[in-house]
Chains A and B, each alone.
Chain A
Amino acid sequence: MTETQHSDEPALAAATAKAARAVVGGEMETKQPAGTRARLLFRRILIAIPLIALVAWTVAPFLVTLSVSFKERAEVFADPSLIPSSPTLDAYREVLASESFTTSFLNSLIVGIGTTVLTILIGVPAAYAFARFRFRGRHLLLLFTLLPRLVPSIGLMVPIYRLAVVAGLLDKRITLIIVYTAMLLPLAVWLMVGFFQQIPREIEEAANVDGASLWGRLRYIVAPLAAPAMITIGVLAFREAWNEFTLVLVLTNTPGKRTLPFELYLMQGIEGIANFPGEAAFTILTVLPFILVYTRIEKYVVAGLISGSGK
Chain B
Amino acid sequence: MTATTVSKTRGGGGKWWRRSEPPGRDNNAIIGQRKSTPYLFSLPAILLVAAILGFPVLYGVWQSLYRRPSLGLPAEWVGFENYADMFSSADFWHSLNRTTIFVFGSLILGTALGLFFAFALFRIVGKLRFLRAVTVAPYIVSNVAAAVMFKILLNGQFGTVNQVIEFFGIDGPSWLAKPALAMVTVILTQVWTDLPLTILLLLGGLMTIDRSYLDAALVDGATGWSRARHITIPLLAPQLLISTIWLSYSTLTGLGVVLALTGGGPLKATQTMAMEMYTVAFRNLEFNQALAIATFILILNALITLGYVGIGRRYEYDQ
B49–A147 CB distance below 8 A: yes
The reply on B180 being an interface residue by CB < 8 A is no
B30 partner, pick from A132, A262, A264, beta carbons under 8 A: A132
A21–B141 CB distance below 8 A: no
* Residues of chain A in range 28-66 having any CB-CB distance to chain B below 8 Å: 47, 50-51, 53-55, 57-62, 64-65
Total inter-chain residue pairs, C-beta < 8 Å: 321
Most chain B beta carbons < 10 A, residue from A11, A62, A157, A262: A157
Chain B: interface size category: 35 or more
Question: In the complex, what's the smallest C-beta–C-beta distance from A288 to chain B, in angstroms?
Answer: 11
Given the known inter-chain contacts A51-B124, A126-B46, A152-B301, please indicate yes or no for A202 contacting B7, CB distance below 8 A. yes
Given the known inter-chain contacts A181-B48, A261-B142, please indicate yes or no for A268 contacting B260, CB distance below 8 A. yes
B215–A50 CB distance below 8 A: no
Most chain B beta carbons < 10 A, residue from A14, A154, A305: A154
The reply on B56 being an interface residue by CB < 8 A is yes
A58–B137 CB distance below 8 A: yes
Q: Which residues of chain B are within 8 angstroms of A283 by Cβ–Cβ distance?
A: 145, 148-149
Q: Chain B, 237-250, contact with A by CB distance < 8 Å: what is the 0/1 string?
A: 00000110010010
Please give me the residue from chain A that is nearest to B58 by CB atom.
A159
A64–B152 CB distance below 8 A: yes
The reply on A208 being an interface residue by CB < 8 A is yes
Report Cα–Cα, A291/B56, bound state, in Å. Answer: 35
B160–A202 CB distance below 8 A: no
Please give me the residue from chain B that is nearest to A250 by CB atom.
B282
Q: Which residues of chain A are within 8 angstroms of B124 by Cβ–Cβ distance?
A: 47, 51
Given the known inter-chain contacts A61-B153, A150-B302, please indicate yes or no for A205 contacting B7, CB distance below 8 A. yes
B305–A149 CB distance below 8 A: yes
Please give me the residue from chain A that is nearest to B282 by CB atom.
A250
* Residues of chain B in range 224-278 having any CB-CB distance to chain A below 8 Å: 242-243, 246, 249, 253-256, 259-260, 274, 277-278
The reply on A113 being an interface residue by CB < 8 A is no
* Residues of chain A in range 91-136 having any CB-CB distance to chain B below 8 Å: 122-123, 125-126, 128-130, 132-135
B37–A133 CB distance below 8 A: yes
Please give me the residue from chain B that is nearest to A263 by CB atom.
B144
B246–A268 CB distance below 8 A: no
The reply on B211 being an interface residue by CB < 8 A is yes
Report Cα–Cα, A179/B260, bound state, in Å. Answer: 22
Question: In the complex, what's the smallest C-beta–C-beta distance from B47 to chain A, in angstroms?
Answer: 9
Report Cα–Cα, A130/B44, bound state, in Å. Answer: 13
Question: In the complex, what's the smallest C-beta–C-beta distance from A219 to chain B, in angstroms?
Answer: 15
Q: Which of B76-84, B85-93, B100-108, B128-136 contacts A (4 or more CB under 8 A)?
A: B128-136
The reply on B173 being an interface residue by CB < 8 A is no
B145–A286 CB distance below 8 A: yes
B218 partner, pick from A14, A55, A280, beta carbons under 8 A: A14
Question: In the complex, what's the smallest C-beta–C-beta distance from B209 to chain A, in angstroms?
Answer: 15
B141–A287 CB distance below 8 A: yes
Report Cα–Cα, A214/B33, bound state, in Å. Answer: 7
Q: Which residues of chain A are within 8 angstroms of B32 by Cβ–Cβ distance?
A: 208, 213-214
Report Cα–Cα, A149/B53, bound state, in Å. Answer: 11
Q: Which residues of chain B are within 8 angstroms of A270 by Cβ–Cβ distance?
A: none
Please give me the residue from chain A that is nearest to B290 by CB atom.
A158
A50 partner, pick from B119, B135, B204, B291, beta carbons under 8 A: B119
Q: Chain B, 39-82, contact with A by CB distance < 8 Å: what is the 0/1 string?
A: 11110111011011110110110010000000000000000000
Known: A150-B301, A262-B144. 17 other contacts (CB 8 A): A21-B211, A51-B131, A58-B192, A65-B149, A76-B158, A129-B38, A134-B17, A152-B253, A156-B60, A208-B30, A209-B2, A239-B140, A287-B141, A290-B140, A298-B133, A309-B197, A309-B243
Task: Name 18 A/B residue pairs within 8 A (Cβ), A-sorted.
Answer: A22-B212, A60-B153, A64-B152, A80-B157, A80-B159, A134-B28, A137-B42, A150-B298, A152-B297, A155-B60, A155-B253, A155-B294, A156-B60, A163-B56, A201-B29, A205-B31, A276-B152, A305-B200
Q: Which residues of B contact A (CB under 8 A)?
A: 2-3, 6-7, 16-17, 27-33, 37-42, 44-46, 48-49, 51-54, 56-57, 59-60, 63, 113, 116-117, 119-121, 123-124, 131-146, 148-153, 155, 157-160, 163, 192, 195-197, 200-201, 204, 211-212, 215-216, 218-219, 242-243, 246, 249, 253-256, 259-260, 274, 277-278, 281-282, 287, 290-291, 294-295, 297-298, 301-302, 305, 308-309
